[in-house]
Structure 1
Amino acid sequence: MLRSLHSIPGLLAALLVMLLAISGATLALNPALEHLQAPPAAADISVAQLAGRVAGQLGGIEQIRRTPSGTLVVYHREHGQTLASRVDPQTGALLAPYTPSALARWVKELHRSLFLDTSGHIVAALGALAMLLLSASGAVLLARRAGGWGKLLRPLRGSFSQRWHAEVGRLTILGLLLSALSGLYLSAGTLGLIADDGQGQPPQPPPISAGPALPAASLAALQAANLNDLRELVYPDPDSPQDLFSLHTRSGQGYVDPASGALLAFQPESGMQQLSGFIYQLHTGEGLWWLGLLLGVCALGVPLMSLTGLWLWWRRRRDSAAIDDNSTTSDADCVILVGSESNSTWGFARTLQQALAAAGRKVHSAPMNQLRGDYPKARQLLILTATHGDGDAPTSASDFLARLQQQPLAPDLKYAVLGFGDRQFPRFCGFAEQVHKALSASGAQCLLPQENIHRQSPQEFRRWGQALGQALGLPLDLQHQTLALPCHEWQLVESVAYGDQVQAPTRILRFKAADSRGQHWPEFQAGDLVGILPPGTTQPRFYSLASSRADGVLEICVRKHPGGLCSGFLHELQTGARIAGFIKPNPQFRPAQGTQPVILIGAGTGIGPLAGFIRGNRSRQPMHLYWGGRHPASDFLYEPELKGYLADRRLTALRAAFSQVQERGYVQDRLLADALALRRLVEKGAQVLVCGSRDMAKGVMLALDEVLAPLNLSVLTLKAQGRYREDVY
């Protein structure tokens, strides 16, 4: 509901909101430009003194006006024409003609009414209302994504494309809320929706005193008025003997008798007038030039958010839930329920449905919010769900748990839950875990243990499909097609073999661009992923990069798995052979810049990106590597390089563990043995990066929780602080 509330006004009013924002940002420059041109503020100068100084320079004065930025403008007649001039408050001397920008007037009219008078004011008010709805709902969605209002300022997780819309929104949300609220108030006043309290204009003044008119510099009321409080002084009409000075200051307005100098019929500003003036300042920045600039910058975020918001909406529509040949609930023997925030999970649901249908099953797919208690012929319930924010339900599953309590599943319906998420979040697949527990508590039978997929890995999805196929007695091969990025060709230049003696054949493979004449070499960093397409397939396999573009090679570390299509292909490559692949950025798995220590933990081929981080550590940031292998004589990956990094201090310390030696040990054992040193590093602000298998990562998490317990910390705490990151497969 909230996401719909956020999306619908944006789609309907995107162009209008962008127009108002761009014109508002343009107008926000005017107060700052006027402030730069305005003379220094006049200290302890009265309106009478200014009037006397100006009278010595000009004749035929009709009006003196002080703009909110402090510019003094004198309107005077010369040769039968009314002119406007900027003057120096200290001397009364003319500085330059005052010519308001025609472009600024045009933009202001566009911003206020779109040149459509009353109907235009109504449209502008609707635009401000849409902005308010977008800003308010966006703020709530931001808080949900961050895990609460208290975490709103913490770094957002996810790829840059996932964060771009939210990052801009977080920087501009307060300014947009202020602009929208103040704009709505001003629109309501323009349209007469806010009642005037009747205290605006002073009553009709009495006749002027008898006697000759005094010079303006001699009038007591003007002598008592400070120039910095002046808004406007209108001179009497020389052709009307009974006319008075009209004085308007910050405190109110009234008349000044030109004969006696007395202040007549003064009317103080009402509370409503003061409120309206303050809101006008907040909205325009007039008199608060710095605020105008801030609001202008915030307004420039609107086109960016509109375009990225439209792109996100289009992507959700592109990945929408439409599934061909969807069986009805009454006919289906298998039900797939999907929980998705951005609809990307539906792509996996389609792949699963197509594979089950090809195996002869009748499948019904629906959002989790459409859970029913009666599926007459269904024997299995398969739930694929993402997690939104810090363990929250995604949009299409927001009502699932409540519906499950109201209508429990049939006792003979077996279920399986597959979670999709990102391990950088403290509560990785937290909602999937809630669903699994709720189904178990309801008495439903479990078909498969809950599994979680990191960053929509096609390989992990395929492995889960194989387990599901075994449980169902069906041959399931879930070949999910990801959206491949532009491919490049690389040529193998070096292959270093390890692990053959311990039945763990591993290769460090280094590639260069296939075109020696300078084919485009894509940007990448150690820790990014390369998707490689084995011959005859369209499904990429992803490997973590152990190099950056600056190293001049594309380097990966690959262990050969029994029956592994891609790993077998890569191990058989001869020098000079070519591969096709693409780069997938992984910015969340990189060492943070700075002087804080970095703790690198891995096992097996998980050392690849960790070695790349160490190679790129030219600033000698403290880096401590914990790594586990099988035997130092066979599969001590990167041993020569690591010794060199220790010598030149790019690597601070190396703690290796081997499982097939007399004093066998694992990387978790090294962590527990170094508990005191690790606690000291964490107290210094250390960041932890873990790369390797899921089983290894679970063991590392348990060991570090034990290490951190005396500090009243845990791995989840470090994750919440952005100090614990994983690349786990």
Structure 2
Amino acid sequence: MTVVEFNGPGLSEEQWRTVRAVATALKPQQALWLSGYFAGLADAGRPEAAHLVPAGLDPAPAAAARTLTILYGSETGNGKRLADRLAERAHAAGLAPVLTDMADYKPRRLKEEQDLLIVASTHGEGAPPTSAAGFFEFVEGRKAPRLEGLRYAVLALGDSTYEFFCGAGRRLDDRLAALGGKRLHERVDCDVDYDDPAAAWIETALAALAPARTAAVPAAAASATPSATAYDRQNPFPAIVIENLALTGRGSSKETRHVELSLEGSGLAFAPGDALGVMPRNDPALVEGLLSVLDLSGGEALTIKGAATTLGEALEGVLEITAATPRFLDQWAEVTGAAALKELAGDARSAFLRENHVIDILRRYPAKGIDAAALAAGLRPLQPRLYSIASSATAVPDEVHLTVSTVRYGLNGEERHGVASGQFSRRAAPETVLPVYVQENPRFRLPEGDAPIIMIGAGTGVAPYRAFLQEREAQGARGRAWLFFGERNFDSDFLYQTEWQGFLKDGVLSRMNVAFSRDGAQKTYVQHRLLEEARELYAWLEEGAHLYVCGDGAKLAPDVHRALTAIVAEAGGHGKAAAEDYLAALRESRRYQIDVY
């Protein structure tokens, strides 16, 4: 619903924040009901107005409550989903939370906060989500205020296959304590199977905040049970593969595929910039290898989260069986009694996990005839993989297109494959059914109207730009568009070359600069092409262009950001600090958007 921005008479800034937060969470009929309820409260002092207060609700307002803010930093959407759930539960408990993305939060408000609940995802090796970088910079910097009046709790999300597991949440938890904040609840670190520990944290954290008197929640405001036909992560849509072909040519040092899936009848909607979640299945050959090493048939009965299945089915479609985790290592050390596994610690333990998959550990430390439940206890649930959508629903209705790079590498004398990309590469021919859902990405969106856009990407990072240009062409948008694209070799790796040329010919794409790193004596990347076009690129930014970066978060994004800083400093006549401020302002105004993996 649309909220009218009018600060009512006598409302403090904090009260107005609370009113806005509640209003934006209401459906129209709920807002109408609540308007009558508040009117009744206003008149509750008069005997004749007592009938206006709904039964079961105390007409006398409770003592002034402490303010509650829920902050989240999310890279793939998991953190946002949990923060939304936390806000719903808080409302149901009679609280009035203000739910805010760290990217939108004004750090100067931190010193005014009273109660703060944080859901913080970790990206890669201990880094915060890209959109939350500014918040972390402030909190961990010298300008951060003392927070003696703050009560807080942190729910940390991460992936235990990384060395700095839940690093972003740990950093915030430690820093807020160092600034004088008081923990309401101990931090909980969640692995990729976060549902149960996150639900427990939400309930106990809210119990610590619950007011002495909790108002009953109106029936209309109760959260509805999702429809069985609403396709999402918990209930993915069975999409049929229409097309699956190699984009890379003969002689390429890598494989990149173009995959088309049918969404007909799903009701799934998406916008350019969104991602598709794909629920993969493990390689049957790997499953057979595990069963053979364990001397098990696969027909052993197993129960996972209350659902009856067999070990074979669980290994193929329910459990992660490729990368080993600390949890698996601990459990397997206990099962086998292997002293060498129990003694692993620190860097040696991290290196061992990087250099050995589950199958390698089973081979080195065998346990024949192990109980199926004992094996499953150390394995995590199989997780969906997210891929940037490479098509526009306006241009190509009832379909979704993906650009998939096949992960293939050698380990312990064998060729290994990525779980999902390996399935796309070898086991997803046309007519194959793949469970999918749409993952919204509201922080990677085309601007409204005809504002110019600058798109920077390498490899599969070009996928959303194909969707951008398809959408602009279908909508008849006339804004300028400039694409910077990088890959290894011109002859074999120029992804969607013919389509880009068509967009250039039709004027949908105004300019295109390419960098093929392995075609020359010196490696040239997209950041080098940016620097070559410094003055023109800066002129586009000054004329209102929106800037997009998509691709590898470890190398591409930092390298491109350094190049952009240099461009603004040189072409704009700014110092380095002023150039950083310039880019920060672009990011704050949503004109500099980053989507990395």
TM (norm. structure 2) is 0.52
Q: Distance in 1 between matches of 2:40 and 2:91?
A: 33
- In 2 relative to 1, CA 23–609 (structure 1 residues): closer, same or farther, beyond 3 Å? same
Using the alignment, how far apart are the partners of 1:463 and 1:316 within structure 2? 36
Matched residue SS, 1:668: helix
Q: Distance in 2 between matches of 1:126 and 1:639?
A: 69
**2:37 touches 2:52 (CA, 8 Å); kept in 1?**
no
Deviation at 1:668, TM superposition (A): 0.1
**Residue 700 (str. 1) matches residue 560 (str. 2):** yes
Structure-2 residue corresponding to 1:623: 481
1:554 match: 400
Q: Secondary structure at the match of 2:457?
A: strand
Distance 1:507 1:429, change over 3 A: farther
Cα shift at 1:615: 1.4
The answer (yes or no) to whether the contact 1:20–1:127 under 8 Å persists in 2 is no
2:162 to 463, 477, 501: 463
Partner of residue 527, structure 2: 668
1:493 to 242, 255, 262: 242
1:662-719, CA deviations, whole angstroms, 9 ceiling, x for partnerless residues?
Answer: 2641000000000011011011011101100011000000000011114344322211
Q: Would the aligned equivalents of 1:597 and 1:686 in 2 still touch at CA under 8 Å?
A: yes
Q: Is the 8 A contact 1:20 1:124 kept in 2?
A: no
Tell me which residue corresponds to 2:193.
Answer: 480
Quickly say closer, same or farther: Cα 1:119–1:534, change in 2 above 3 A: closer
Distance 1:569-1:308 versus aligned 2 partners, 3 A rule: closer
Could you tell me which of 247, 253, 259 is aligned with 1:503? 253
Distance 1:387 1:613, change over 3 A: closer
1:316 Cα shift? Answer: 10
CA RMSD of aligned residues (A): 5.3
- Measure, in 1, the Cα distance between the counterparts of 2:261 and 2:552: 24
Q: Deviation at 1:519? A: 2.3
Q: Is the 8 A contact 1:528 1:544 kept in 2?
A: yes
Q: Deviations over 1:617-669 (max 9, x none)?
A: 12132110001100011111110111111111111111010101126410000
Describe the shift of the 1:683–1:431 C-alpha distance in structure 2 as closer, same or farther (beyond 3 A): closer
Who wins on radius of gyration, i.e. which is larger?
A: 1
Cα distance in 2 for partners of 1:457, 1:636 equals 37
Q: Percent identity?
A: 24
Confirm or deny: 8 A CA contact 1:159 1:588 kept in the other structure.
no
Q: Kindly provide the CA deviation profile for residues 322-371 of structure 1, in whole angstroms up to 9, marking residues without a partner as x.
A: xxxxxxxxxxxxxxxxxxx9899xxxxxxxxxxxxxxxxxxxxxxxxxxx
For the 8 Å contact 2:43–2:49, the answer to whether it is kept is: no
1:116 aligns with 2:30: no
The answer to whether the 8 Å contact 1:387/1:432 transfers is no
Distance in 1 between residues matched to 2:78 and 2:117, nearest whole Å: 30
SS at match of 1:501: coil
1:718 aligned to 2:564?
A: no
Aligned to 1:389: 105
Aligned equivalents of 1:610, 1:651: Cα separation in 2:
10
CA-to-partner distance for each residue in 1:458-478, whole Å, 9 max, x for gaps?
6x664346899xxxxxxxx95
Q: How does 1:588-667 map to 2 (within 5 A)?
A: 588-618=443-473, 619-662=477-520, 664-667=523-526
Q: Deviations over 1:285-320 (max 9, x none)?
A: xxxxxxxxxxxxxxxxxxxxxx99961516999xxx
The separation in 2 between residues aligned to 1:668 and 1:316, in whole angstroms, is 50
Equivalents in 1 of 2:86, 2:432: separation in Å?
Answer: 43
For the pair 1:311 / 2:78, whether they are aligned, the reply is: no
Equivalent position SS for 1:651: coil
Q: CA–CA distance in 1 between the matches of 2:498 and 2:92? A: 47
Pair 427,720 (structure 1): closer, same or farther in 2 beyond 3 Å: same
Query: Which residue of structure 2 aligns with residue 337 of structure 1?
Result: none
Alpha-carbon distance between aligned partners in 2 of 1:465 and 1:635, rounded to the nearest angstrom: 34
1 CA distance for matches of 2:194 and 2:116? 28
CA change 1:109–1:608 in 2 (3 A) is: closer
Amino acid at match of 1:638: Y
Distance 1:456 1:581 in 2: 26
Aligned ranges 1:395-544 → 2 under 5 Å: 421-425=128-132, 427=134, 429-430=136-137, 462-464=161-163, 478-481=191-194, 484-499=233-248, 501-513=251-263, 518-535=264-281, 536-537=317-318, 538-544=382-388
Q: Report the Cα distance in structure 2 between the residues aligned to 1:19 and 1:490, rounded to whole angstroms.
A: 40
Distance in 2, Cα, partners of 1:419 & 1:721: 26
Counterparts of 2:453 and 2:93, CA distance in 1: 38
Call closer, same or farther: CA 1:698–1:128 in 2, change over 3 Å: same
Instruction: Tell me the distance in 1 between the aligned counterparts of 2:406 and 2:541.
Output: 35
CA distance in 2, matches of 1:672, 1:604: 19
Asked if 2 retains the 8 angstrom alpha-carbon contact of 1:597 and 1:681, the reply is yes
Q: Which residue of 1 aligns with 2:545?
A: 686
Do the aligned partners of 1:532 and 1:540 also contact (CA within 8 Å) in 2?
A: yes
Task: Tell me the secondary structure at the aligned position of residue 580 of structure 1.
Answer: strand
- 1:598–1:23 Cα change, 3 Å: same
The separation in 1 between residues aligned to 2:61 and 2:165, in whole angstroms, is 52
Per the alignment, residue 347 of structure 1 pairs with: none
Please give the TM-score of this superposition, normalised by the length of structure 1: 0.43
Give the Cα separation in 1 of the matches to 2:403 and 2:156: 22
Listed as ranges, the gaps of 5+ residues in structure 1 are 26-107, 147-156, 166-306, 318-340, 345-385, 401-416, 438-454, 469-476
User: How do 1:301-380 and structure 2 match up within 5 A?
Assistant: 311=88, 313=90
Asked whether the 8 Å contact 2:72–2:79 carries over to 1, the reply is: no
Contact 1:425 1:720 in 2 (8 A): no
Provide the rounded CA distance (Å) in 2 between the counterparts of 1:521 and 1:684: 38
User: Could you give the per-residue CA deviations for residues 63-94 of structure 1, whole angstroms, max 9, x where no partner exists?
Assistant: xxxxxxxxxxxxxxxxxxxxxxxxxxxxxxxx
8 Å CA contact retained: 1:113, 1:124: no
Cα gap change, 1:20 to 1:672, in 2 (>3 Å): same
Supply the distance in 2 between the matched residues of 1:544 and 1:665 (Cα, whole angstroms): 25
Distance 1:489 1:160, change over 3 A: closer
- Which of 586, 607, 630 is matched with 2:441 structurally? 586
1:5 Cα offset (Å): 14
Cα separation, 2, equivalents of 1:502 and 1:660:
11
| Map 1:158-169 → 2, pairs under 5 A | none
What secondary structure does 2:239 align onto? strand
Q: Secondary structure at the match of 1:542?
A: strand
